[in-house]
A and B are shown apart, each in its own frame.
Chain A
Amino acid sequence: MLKGIITLLSFQFLGECIAKLFSLLVPGPVIGMVLLLLFLMIKKSSFASLDNAVSIHLRYLPLLFIPAAMGIITQVDIISKEFWAILVSLVIGTIVALMFSAKLMDILTIRQERKK
Chain B
Amino acid sequence: MNIDALIEYISSTPLTWLLLTLGSFKIGIIVYEKFNKQTLLQPIIISYLFIISIIVFTDTSYAEYFKGVEIIHFFLGPATVALALPLYKNLKYIKSLFVPILVTLVVAGVFSILIAVGLLWVLGAELPTILSMTTKSITAPIAIITSEQIGAIPSLAVGFVIITGIIGALFGTALFKFMNIKHDTSKGFALGLISHGIGTARAIEISEKAAAFSALAMGIGGILTAVFLPLIIQFIF
Q: Which residues of A contact B (CB under 8 A)?
A: 5, 8-9, 11-12, 15-16, 25-30, 32-34, 36-37, 40-41, 46, 50-51, 53-54, 57-58, 60-75, 78-79, 82, 84-86, 88-106, 108-110, 112
For residue A86, give the distance in angstroms from its CB to the closest CB of chain B. 7
Number of residue pairs A-B, CB distance < 8 angstroms: 311
| Cβ A69 vs Cβ B183 within 8 A | no
| Cβ B125 vs Cβ A86 within 8 A | yes
Measured CA separation A84–B125 after assembly (Å): 9
Contacting A at CB under 8 A, from B92-123, are 97, 99-101, 103-104, 107-108, 111-112, 115-117, 119-120, 123
> Shortest 4 CB-CB distances between A and B: which pairs?
A71-B155, A93-B116, A85-B123, A108-B100
Q: Which residue of A lies closest to B189 (CB)?
A: A105
| Cβ A97 vs Cβ B111 within 8 A | yes
Subset of 6 A-B contacts with CB under 8 Å: A33-B82, A70-B62, A73-B52, A82-B129, A90-B163, A97-B115
| Cβ B141 vs Cβ A98 within 8 A | no
Measured CA separation A79–B129 after assembly (Å): 9
For residue B158, give the distance in angstroms from its CB to the closest CB of chain A. 4
B33 proximal to A (CB < 8 A): no
Encoded as 1 (CB less than 8 Å from any A CB) or 0, chain B from 171 to 200 comes to 110011011011101110111011101000
Residues of A within 8 A of B31 (CB): none
Residues of A within 8 A of B83 (CB): 33, 58
Residues of A within 8 A of B231 (CB): 25
Contacting A at CB under 8 A, from B59-76, are 62, 65-66, 69-70, 72-73, 75-76
Measured CA separation A86–B160 after assembly (Å): 9
For residue A80, give the distance in angstroms from its CB to the closest CB of chain B. 12
Residues of B within 8 A of A66 (CB): 21, 25, 44, 47-48, 51, 69, 72
| Cβ B123 vs Cβ A12 within 8 A | no
Dominant SS at the A interface? helix
Measured CA separation A108–B48 after assembly (Å): 40
| Cβ A105 vs Cβ B100 within 8 A | yes
Q: Which residue of B lies closest to A65 (CB)?
A: B140
Residues of B within 8 A of A84 (CB): 123
CB contact under 8 A between A75 and B156, given known A100-B111, A101-B104: yes
B126 proximal to A (CB < 8 A): yes
| Cβ B43 vs Cβ A37 within 8 A | no
Please tell me which one of the listed residues B76, B97, B144, B168 contacts residue A112 in the complex, with CB atoms under 8 A apart.
B97
Q: Which residue of B lies closest to A85 (CB)?
A: B123
| Cβ B80 vs Cβ A30 within 8 A | yes
For residue A114, give the distance in angstroms from its CB to the closest CB of chain B. 12
Residues of A within 8 A of B62 (CB): 70-71, 73-74
Residues of A within 8 A of B22 (CB): 63
With A26-B227, A67-B69, A71-B66 known, 13 other A-B pairs at CB within 8 A are: A8-B78, A16-B77, A32-B81, A40-B88, A65-B44, A85-B124, A86-B160, A90-B167, A92-B119, A94-B168, A101-B189, A105-B108, A105-B183
| Cβ B155 vs Cβ A69 within 8 A | yes
For residue B90, give the distance in angstroms from its CB to the closest CB of chain A. 11
| Cβ A57 vs Cβ B75 within 8 A | yes
Measured CA separation A57–B100 after assembly (Å): 31
